Amino acid sequence: MKERIHKDIVIIGAGMAGLTAALYCGRMNLDTLVLENGLVGGQIANAVAIENFPGFVSVSGGELIATVQKQAESFGAVIDEFDEIERVTLKATPKIIETQEKIYEADAVIIATGMNRRKLPLPEEKKFSGRGVHYCELCDGHAYDGKIIAVAGGGNAAVDAANFLTKYATKLYLIHRSELRADDFSQRRMRANDKITVMLQTDIKALRGDKKLEAVEVFDKTTGETKTLAVDGIFVNIGVEPNTKLFRDELTLSASGRIIAGEDCRTEIDGVFAAGDVREKEIRQLTTAASDGTTAALLAEKFLAKLKG
Amino acid sequence: MVKVYTVTGCPYCEKVKRYLASKDVDFVAYDIEVDAAARDECKRLTGMDYAVPVTTIDGEHFVIDYDKAALDELLCL
């Protein structure tokens, strides 16, 4: 029999939005629990250097998130990063969040589950995952000292990963299916790095190798040419997908799978808020995630005050 | 003794270490980027050049990555 525990508010997800909400909820003396199935910090836990968050010239994702976590905990928020959520019932009163070990009853819920990295959509991905195909530069980059690698993707995460990985690699191919989306600053830094060859309008068609990755086959859409690049590894940064599987039975999702909620972060269910990248919106940045976390926490507190009369 | 092979800055390595600590498991962590003997041992164990985090209790059975269910089974938690 699982233990039942009441909380004023449960925040699902401990990325920037969730931790900011926790910080505010803690300061407002709400009994606050944050549940995280993956990494505390979410997508930025892997970020090598963040240079567009006010107050920091350059800070690693790990350092920044550790500070925000410490702030949230100092105000009394509890973060559980080990007990995994199995199901939620948001339309009930109170709302139910069932984990592997406990059943939480919450008066309000903030969903801040963010996004997960998209996997390379090739049948060989599974065969080479961890054997040449990687998703974490900080974890696995060290293994490619003096080797040739590729990075797939064209956004900031991909370009920054490429810049970082040349710390190890002697040569690096940045391969992207269209044009770069990374900001000018990151692109300029990459263009100035003579270890990096940028291949745009190029599709990755296949991964080759016996026990581990030995080459990638690419198709240049401009020239119509197919090439085989000898590489020891590839780091994949081809975008993200919203982490909304738990909520799809109760909340309306957008075509891209995100939760529909306005700038006030209110969803269609009273007392349920969506904050950060998981919310359907045009701009998704670390700063807007912090902003959403703030908004959701302050409006959740108003909801709770009204609920308790 | 439980051993955890890691590298500095790896968030999944840190999560494994926090999980073991939360369960009061005594362990020794090795940074395979700086410890050549640990790197060789990790490679022998997994057959892979670069897998981290790797957790083992007997130098034979191991878990790669943060996989709670697998760690619980390996360490009888």
pLDDT, tens digit (0-9, with 9 covering 90-100), for A72-125: 999 999 999 999 999 999 999 999 999 999 999 999 999 999 998 899 999 998
The radius of gyration computed from the CA coordinates of chain A, to the nearest angstrom, equals: 21
> What is the domain extent for residue B35?
2-75
A163: which 2 tokens?
Answer: 């810049």
A157 and A73 in a common domain: no
On whether both A111 and A167 belong to a single domain, the answer is no
Q: Residue B11 and residue A82: Cβ atoms within 8 Å? A: no
- CATH number for the domain spanning B36: value is 3.40.30.10
Q: Indicate whether B76 pLDDT > 80.
A: yes
**Domain containing residue A245: CATH number:** 3.50.50.60
Whether A195 and A258 share a structural domain: no
Q: B16-32 burial by CB neighbour count: b if 16+ within 10 A, else e?
A: bbebbeeeebebebbbb
Domain boundary among A207, A236, A265: A236
Percent over 90 (pLDDT), chain A: 83
Confidence label for A48 from pLDDT (cuts 50, 70 and 90): confident
| Confidence bin at A20 (pLDDT 50/70/90) | very high
What would the DSSP string read from start to end of A98-155? EESSEEEEEEEEEE---EEEPPP-STTHHHHBTTTEES-HHHHGGGGTT-EEEEE--S
Name the band, by pLDDT with cuts 50, 70 and 90, for residue A129.
confident
Asked if residue A298 and residue A263 are part of one domain, the reply reads yes
Please check whether residues A108 and A256 belong to one and the same domain: yes
Residue A8 sits in the same domain as residue A98: yes
Last residue of a domain, one of A236, A270, A292: A236
The span from the CA of A174 to the CA of A152, in Å, is 6
Mean pLDDT of B33-56: 89
User: How far, rounded to the nearest angstrom, does the alpha carbon of residue A247 sit from its chain's CA centroid?
Assistant: 17
Taking CB atoms and an 8 Å limit, are A139 and B15 in contact across chains?
no
Verify that A204 and A148 share a domain, yes or no. Answer: yes
Least confident of A43-57, A106-120, A256-270, A287-301: A43-57
Q: Given A208, A236, A264, which residue is the final one in a domain?
A: A236
d(CA A221, CA A180): 15
Of B9, B50, B68, the CB nearest to A62: B9
CB contact under 8 A, A139 and B68: no
Residue B52 to residue A138, Cβ atoms within 8 A: no
Interface test with A, best of B50, B63, B72 (most A CBs within 10 A): B50
pLDDT band at A63 (very low <50, low <70, confident <90, very high): very high
Distance CA A161, CA A47 (A): 8
Domain span at residue A287?
3-116+240-307
Mean pLDDT value across residues A158-181 = 95
Structural domains in chain A (count): 2
Q: How many residues does chain A have?
A: 309
Indicate which residues of A carry an active-site annotation.
136, 139-140
- Can you give the pLDDT at residue B18? 95
- The answer to whether residues A86 and A158 belong to one domain is no
Closest CA to A281 of A114, A37, A154: A114
Q: What is the pLDDT of residue A139?
A: 79
- pLDDT tens-place string over residues A131-167: 899 988 887 888 899 999 999 999 998 999 999 999 9
Indicate whether B49 pLDDT > 80.
Answer: no
Q: Which of residues 11-70 of B touch A (CB under 8 A)?
A: 11-15, 18-19, 22, 32-33, 48-53, 64, 68
> How much is the pLDDT for A50?
87
Q: Please tell me the pTM assigned to this model.
A: 0.87
Task: State how many domains chain B has.
Answer: 1
> Residue B20 pLDDT > 90, yes or no?
yes
Pair A212, A301 in one domain: no
Summarize the confidence of residues B53-69 as an average pLDDT.
94
Q: Give the pLDDT of residue A200.
A: 97
